[in-house]
Amino acid sequence: MHDLTLAQMCHGLARRDFSSTELTRHLLERIGAANPRYNAFITIASETALAQAAAADRRRAAGDAPALCGLPIAHKDIFCTRGLRTSCGSRMLDNFVPPYDATVVERCAAAGAVVLGKTNMDEFAMGSSNETSYYGPVKNPWATDCVPGGSSGGSAAALAARLVPGATASDTGGSIRQPAALCGVTGLKPTYGRVSRWGMIAFASSLDQAGPMARTAEDVALLLQVMAGFDARDSTCLDRPVPDYAATLEQPLAGLRIGVPEEYFGAGLHPGTERAVREALAEFERQGARLVAISLPHSGLAVPAYYVIAPAEASANLSRFDGVRYGHRCADPVDLRDLYMRSREEGFGDEVKRRILIGTYCLSAGYYDAYYNKAQQVRRLIRQDFLDAFANVDLILGPTCPNPAFAFGAKGGDPVAMYLEDIYTIAANLAGLPALSVPCGLVDAKPVGLQIIGNYFDEARMLNAAHRYQLATGWHQLAPPALTETAA
């Protein structure tokens, strides 16, 4: 059962090939056996999951089966879950049990989803490798000595290891797409404002976006259908109709104009990754799409602009964690200053501290105009580059990441080298555009991803392109060698 996609599980449940309780128990057993190896889950919700599965079986028996009824998923540990620990991968929130659900969690629950647990992540979503979690690094099922990508590495690894068929995630600078690429799964960052951020613990509020991860574009469409939509509790959530994403998946690609940015195929791109991406582009041509050379002239400024804006917003958002209201509190403080300093020193990891310091500096008197304001001006230029490109093309395609998964510790001593792993993904967050990663090949026996960037609220077209590509190729069907060897 664990090899089935979400859509296949849905059909199986409808045909009564198995029950949600049987499916949930099977996956919980797999998680219990495999999680010590991969560390993909922080919290496993066995008792509540089985209760939800039993309730879903009763709903199906009564003829009431909403979109995700009885389907098992996992939530990234950045989403608040009522009565279930939400740590955000940090010691600061190690003991935090929210009294409410995030909107994304609410909507999945209303659709009948069964929550197997909360997935591991870089602390406060700050990282590109899932090495900064307080609970230890997540291991890539394709190569356990390599990173799974971050910050949604737990969700991606759980999908790749067939521990769960679908998961929620969040993307601030590539945190859905980059781990999706490195773990060989499919992940979508929607248009900023398409999915509510209410109840998702904030990193950088103008960049953060919740989104789905699964093994196929069809499954991602199923999850996005449930997650998307207006939420009055989130002032950044836009009130726009949600299309039927599944309805257009099968449309042919003849006449589709695909932009290929010259800046995405220069120095720093692994030759194997480039070959895989260009082979994927050739497949789109075979299906009738037309490739158009384009330029995104300010794309080289995306990383420096992001690493001013994101830390600045993180500095503001994380100021609430002070040891007073909730979160980690140091023992026996001598005064209020000592309480603040030691609580934050003990509660935050090194990467979070680094970004708070950078952000506070960029927002300080005398430096705001030189750094933060200038970065926002660059952000506008990057957005305009995309708008100019979309005047002539329908989608923009290129690599998701410059390299396949790298070894643990390979970039830990060089933060800039780590940040450059997001060089192709960050611009979409700065512009607020939707972007999707699908598996497109193997390099050194590890997956690499093809990134599909769309115009605002054009997720349906992106999912259609991804689905048609996956119908013609088998990269998304590959499992890590360790799984196939175990099955044999």
pTM given for the model:
0.96
**pLDDT digits 0-9 by tens, 316-373:** 999 999 999 888 999 999 999 999 999 999 999 999 999 999 999 999 988 888 899 9
Active-site residue flag, 139: no
Q: Looking at 20, 87, 90, 151, which residue is catalytic?
A: 151
**pLDDT digits 0-9 by tens, 53-75:** 999 999 999 999 999 999 999 99
What is the rounded CA–CA span in Å between residue 351 and residue 356? 9
Q: Looking at 76, 118, 189, 411, which residue is catalytic?
A: 76
Taking 60 as the threshold, does the pLDDT of residue 282 lie above it? Answer: yes
From first CA to last CA, the distance across the chain in angstroms is 16
- Domains present along the chain, CATH in parentheses: 6-260+391-487 (3.90.1300.10)
**pLDDT digits 0-9 by tens, 369-419:** 889 999 999 999 999 999 999 999 999 999 999 999 999 999 877 888 888
Using DSSP's 3-state secondary structure scheme, residue 14 falls into helix
- The pair of three-digit structure tokens given for residue 293, joined into one six-digit string: 């050379």
Beta strand ranges found along 88-129 (DSSP E): 114-119
Taking 80 as the threshold, does the pLDDT of residue 486 lie above it? Answer: no
- The pair of three-digit structure tokens given for residue 216, joined into one six-digit string: 């196929």
Active-site residue flag, 76: yes
What mean pLDDT comes out for the span 158-179? 98
Q: Looking at 90, 152, 155, 175, which residue is catalytic?
A: 175
Q: What are the residues whose beta carbons fall under 8 Å from the beta carbon of 52, sequence distance 6 or more?
A: 24, 113, 114, 115
485 pLDDT band, cuts 50/70/90, is low
Taking 70 as the threshold, does the pLDDT of residue 257 lie above it? Answer: yes
Taking 80 as the threshold, does the pLDDT of residue 487 lie above it? Answer: no
Model pLDDT, residue 488: 45
